């Protein structure tokens, strides 16, 4: 149990376009999901906390208009990177909370050309 999927696993897009990443909890309901960004050889940087049915809570320095988060159901949260630029290229990982634990998706490698 406690499986989290993420789609797509890799995406290449052109500068100025938008990209949507989906995070799903497959075998449990998650009222809270988290979105992280991870640079090579670095720790997980929390971007935002996504709560089902309410607005996401963004960490300081994360542009909410650029990284749109929607948590429309208890098993799905989406992150949309709007007007992507090369500096947005990174590894994005979501996690879903079940009781105290967090279970991570496999991540999405975003490359903006």
Partner 1 sequence: GENVEQHPSTLSVQEGDSAVIKCTYSDSASNYFPWYKQELGKRPQLIIDIRSNVGEKKDQRIAVTLNKTAKHFSLHITETQPEDSAVYFCAASMANTGNQFYFGTGTSLTVIP
Instruction: Using CB under 8 A, list all residues that contact partner 1.
Output: 4, 31-32, 34, 41-44, 46, 49, 51, 93, 97, 99-107, 109
**Burial category of 22 from C-beta neighbours within 10 Å (exposed 0-12, middle 13-18, buried 19 and up):** middle
Nearest to 5 by CA among 20, 17, 21: 21
Quote the least distance from Cβ 15 to partner 1, whole Å. Answer: 24
Quote the least distance from Cβ 16 to partner 1, whole Å. Answer: 27
For partner 1, the closer of residues 88 and 105 by Cβ is 105
For partner 1, the closer of residues 51 and 82 by Cβ is 51
CB 21 within 8 A of CB 7: yes
For partner 1, the closer of residues 66 and 97 by Cβ is 97
Quote the least distance from Cβ 77 to partner 1, whole Å. Answer: 14
Q: Which two tokens stand for residue 13?
A: 């897009």
CB 106 within 8 A of CB 22: no
């Amino acid at each position: 149990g406690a499986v989290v999927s993420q789609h797509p696993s890799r995406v290449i897009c052109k500068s100025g376009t938008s990209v949507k990443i989906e995070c799903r909890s497959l075998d449990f309901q998650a009222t809270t999901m988290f979105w992280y960004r991870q640079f090579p050889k670095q720790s997980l940087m929390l971007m935002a906390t996504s709560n089902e049915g309410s607005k996401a809570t963004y960490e300081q320095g994360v542009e909410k208009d650029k990284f749109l988060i929607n948590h429309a159901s208890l098993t799905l949260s989406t992150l949309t990177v709007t007007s992507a630029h090369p500096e947005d290229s990174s590894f994005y990982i979501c996690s879903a909370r079940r009781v105290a634990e967090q279970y991570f998706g496999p991540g999405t490698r975003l490359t903006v050309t």
